[in-house]
Structure 1
Amino acid sequence: MKKALAMLLVGVLSLSMLTACGKKETTPELSQPVEETSVSEAEPEVQEPAVPEGMARSYLTGEWIDETIAAQRPFAVMLGNTKIATPQYGITDADIIYEAAVEGQETRLMAIFQDYANLEKVMSIRSCRHYYVHWALEFDAIYAHYGQAKYAVDLLNEDYVDNLSGLDGGVEKVMYHRDSNRKAPHNAYTDGEGIVAGIAYKGYRTQHEADYTGHYQFVEDDNTPLYLDNGQAAAVVEPGYLVNKPWFVYDSTTGLYKRFQNGEAQTDGNNGKQVEVKNIIIQICGWNRMSSEDEYLNMETMAGGSGYYVTNGAAVPITWKKDSLQSPTRYYDESGSEIRLNQGKTWVCVTEDTYADKIAFYASEEEYANR
């Protein structure tokens, strides 16, 4: 009996030891520290912006457009801006507009279009000034004009300048027309069909080169516009021109600046709409007269200088430089970083340094009215 009991106790002890051994084998596996896996410590994955199918960013506005249109060279054209030349036609279709003084301190415009093949009417087309060619080259643009100042002739004849002159008989025939409702020289115009025909007649390259990288830097997030939090209030902007005395008024409901000059809204003869832009760049530029014998001006387009970037109701100081005739003008903030523009249309006001003191910003329309 005692022997049987002893054997039973030995069995129980053996079973207990086996069970204990089993627990010892499995416990470490169950107690592995979960937090030491790399899941919670992994770097967040960078999400690249989704590219809509068949679309690409416009080099002129930063917005998504048809990739075929985005790849083509833009079309730049000189437009008159005297009272008799207004309203301009097609101006609300322009992606970028340059404004600078010519002789007599009148301003002339250069409108740049990315998508030009279906333009209804572009008028009034005027003559070239050499400094506008400098700016057109910055965008790899095909440059259109009706005549030119004598100081632009040599530049226009350079192989790297693709120009469509109304004084070229073949180009004039396929591209330009006259509007009988206006007096010459303010009545020359073209349209999308004429532009395409003029480019084809001259055999100009229509696509950007494969290594083309564009001009402006844009905010890439479509839903997060740039606000100049440290900027000066700029509900109304005066760029400082003497004759047409233009100003821009910020519309907070659309986020755009409406353009006025000669005491009234600047509109498009095609559709009656007022010109509106997202960005204003004021580029203060040195200048001189080409000769004491005439009033033609020279803008020092490669000398560098100061200016302002204006968007979403505020303005900040900038500096600018241009390294070569065909390179883009680059704009920098006070920290020395190249500025980014909000997506949308841009108006570049090239203001002579002599009149920089006439540039003004107002916090409200009331303040502007009581200036």
Structure 2
Amino acid sequence: GSEKLSVKMPKENGMQDGVNPITGEAFSGDYRPTLITVDSHPAALPNWGVGSADLIYEMPIQADGSTRQLALFMGEYPAEGAGPVRSARVPMCSLREMWGGVFCFYGYQGGRDKNNMKDWIEANSSVKKLKYPYLNGISKNTGWFQRTSDGGHVGPHNVRLNMSEVEADYRESPTPQPFVFSETGLERGEDVNGIVINYKVTNDAYRTAYEYNASTGLFERYRNGAPYIDGNNGEVCAYANVIVIRTDVSWSSGNPSRPVIRLNGQGVAEIFQNGKYIRGTWARDCSATKKLNNRMVFFDENGEELPMKVGKTFIQIVDNEQPVVVVADEAIDGAVEPQAQRDRVGTGSKK
């Protein structure tokens, strides 16, 4: 991966009437994307409202392997709310600029060096100030962010956002940047039954896994060996597309809790649809600070824009060297136990 592009970026995909530009599913209404920083600490499980999100990112936020999620809601705003909401990090701001819309979080990355959210937004954001649509629940609209013990949650893993208030107050009009869609998804590639990503190799606190369900055509998500459920309804979250994007991850001023994640240029994308795996490329034609509204494009192994399978997407952002384990054949017993590991998806040449 590098900041320079070697792929040819395609034109924008036009909006189709009645189609959600993020999922390809039927949709009517205004395009109103909202991003929320969702806590992925084990004590924050189950997360609320995540089954309603059209697309979710998970990314490293500490050098010890701790992660945080950024959930994108557009087609459905869960009436019961979403969360637990936690503090935001600078790389999330780049994704806010890309999608447009409102970004809700509870606290944010400060600090004396320039790699803090306030300075970053003032220098690079279309908004130019840490204010709406950057919505910090600690200081603004505090009534929308309620602490709750629902599901046994305790602080700081217990802030739930009232999505109905966000929707009623929506004042942004971002431009949609639709994916290309396919009803069927990939019909080529290697067979995959499971995927395992252990961000924190010293223990299983941040182990994400997916198991393919052939009857639904979706990858069911697991966290730390247990189904990843939406605490609002108890349903397992499942995804039509799982994409692992490899990029450069470092730590600002050597501080292990201040991530610097390259979300411009290009890198390897491990693409999973329909129980199939191909190795492609992600690319975004921007610098770290300019043209940030340009979309991230996924390319297949032939350099063509990847059609997303209609449905929800999960994007795992990992360091270039992060091991990703692909289980090809046998049932993986939900948790994807380490002894079931078959093939390592490498970081250089394909496996």
What aligned pairs does 1:112-191 form with structure 2 within 5 A after superposition?
A: 112-117=72-77, 119-150=79-110, 151-157=116-122, 158-160=125-127, 162-169=133-140, 171-173=141-143, 175-180=144-149, 182-191=153-162
User: In structure 2, what residue type is equivalent to 1:218?
Assistant: F
What is the distance in 1 between the residues matched to 2:300 and 2:212? 22
User: Is the aligned partner of 1:233 residue 2:191?
Assistant: yes
Structure 1 residue 116: deviation in Å? Answer: 4.6
Structure 1 residue 188: deviation in Å? Answer: 1.0
Secondary structure in structure 2 of the residue aligned to 1:193: helix
What is the distance in 1 between the residues matched to 2:92 and 2:35? 10
Match among 189, 195, 202 for residue 166 of structure 2: 195
User: In structure 2, what residue type is equivalent to 1:363?
Assistant: A
Q: State the TM-score, normalizing by the size of structure 2.
A: 0.79
What is the distance in 2 between the residues matched to 1:217 and 1:139? 16
* Deviation by residue 1:293-350 (Cα, 9 ceiling, x = unmatched): 4531110111421121110001101112111222111111222111111100000001
Q: State the TM-score, normalizing by the size of structure 1.
A: 0.75
Whether the aligned pair in 2 keeps the contact of 1:75 and 1:116 (CA below 8 Å) is no
Q: Which has the higher strand share?
A: 2
* Deviation by residue 1:154-177 (Cα, 9 ceiling, x = unmatched): 2344443721111224x213x211
Secondary structure in structure 2 of the residue aligned to 1:57: coil
Instruction: Give the equivalent residue in structure 2 for 1:38.
Output: none
Q: 1:322 to 1:184 in 2, by over 3 A?
A: same
Deviates more, 1:137-146 or 1:256-265: 137-146
User: In structure 1, what residue type is equivalent to 2:259?
Assistant: L
User: In structure 2, what residue type is equivalent to 1:143?
Assistant: F
What aligned pairs does 1:1-371 form with structure 2 within 5 A after superposition?
A: 56-66=18-28, 68=29, 71-103=30-62, 104-117=64-77, 119-150=79-110, 151-157=116-122, 158-160=125-127, 162-169=133-140, 171-173=141-143, 175-180=144-149, 182-197=153-168, 199-200=169-170, 204-205=171-172, 207-208=173-174, 212-219=175-182, 222=183, 225-229=184-188, 231-242=189-200, 243-324=205-286, 325-355=292-322, 358-366=323-331, 369=337, 370-371=340-341
User: In structure 1, what residue type is equivalent to 2:312?
Assistant: K
- How many equivalent residue pairs? 298
Q: 1:302 to 1:56 in 2, by over 3 A?
A: same
User: In structure 1, what residue type is equivalent to 2:185?
Assistant: L
Q: 1:64 to 1:293 in 2, by over 3 A?
A: closer
* Deviation by residue 1:221-271 (Cα, 9 ceiling, x = unmatched): x4xx12331x11111012342241111000000111100011211111111
Whether the aligned pair in 2 keeps the contact of 1:249 and 1:365 (CA below 8 Å) is no
Identity rate, percent? 22
User: In structure 2, what residue type is equivalent to 1:234?
Assistant: V
Instruction: Give the equivalent residue in structure 2 for 1:8.
Output: none
Secondary structure in structure 2 of the residue aligned to 1:155: helix
Secondary structure in structure 2 of the residue aligned to 1:147: coil
Q: 1:295 to 1:213 in 2, by over 3 A?
A: closer
The structure with higher relative contact order (CA 8 Å, sep 6+) is 2
Secondary structure in structure 1 of the residue aligned to 2:304: coil
User: In structure 2, what residue type is equivalent to 1:87?
Assistant: P
What is the distance in 2 between the residues matched to 1:239 and 1:136? 25
Whether the aligned pair in 2 keeps the contact of 1:240 and 1:351 (CA below 8 Å) is no
Whether the aligned pair in 2 keeps the contact of 1:156 and 1:163 (CA below 8 Å) is no
User: In structure 1, what residue type is equivalent to 2:186?
Assistant: Y
Whether the aligned pair in 2 keeps the contact of 1:77 and 1:110 (CA below 8 Å) is yes
Instruction: Give the equivalent residue in structure 1 for 2:7.
Output: none
User: In structure 2, what residue type is equivalent to 1:79?
Assistant: V
What is the distance in 2 between the residues matched to 1:187 and 1:226? 37
Whether the aligned pair in 2 keeps the contact of 1:285 and 1:305 (CA below 8 Å) is yes
Structure 1 residue 77: deviation in Å? Answer: 0.2
Whether the aligned pair in 2 keeps the contact of 1:228 and 1:316 (CA below 8 Å) is no
What is the distance in 1 between the residues matched to 2:52 and 2:137? 22
User: In structure 2, what residue type is equivalent to 1:92?
Assistant: G
What is the distance in 1 between the residues matched to 2:78 and 2:212? 30
Structure 2, unpaired ranges of 5+: 1-15, 111-115, 287-291, 342-351
Answer with 1 or 2: which has the greater Rg.
Answer: 1
User: In structure 1, what residue type is equivalent to 2:142?
Assistant: E
Structure 1 residue 213: deviation in Å? Answer: 4.8
What is the distance in 1 between the residues matched to 2:77 and 2:269? 34
Secondary structure in structure 2 of the residue aligned to 1:123: coil
What is the distance in 2 between the residues matched to 1:196 and 1:128? 20
Whether the aligned pair in 1 keeps the contact of 2:208 and 2:221 (CA below 8 Å) is yes
User: Over aligned residues, Cα RMSD in angstroms?
Assistant: 2.0
Secondary structure in structure 2 of the residue aligned to 1:148: coil
Whether the aligned pair in 1 keeps the contact of 2:193 and 2:331 (CA below 8 Å) is no
User: In structure 1, what residue type is equivalent to 2:222?
Assistant: F
What is the distance in 2 between the residues matched to 1:351 and 1:270? 28
Secondary structure in structure 1 of the residue aligned to 2:43: helix
Q: Which has the higher helix share?
A: 1
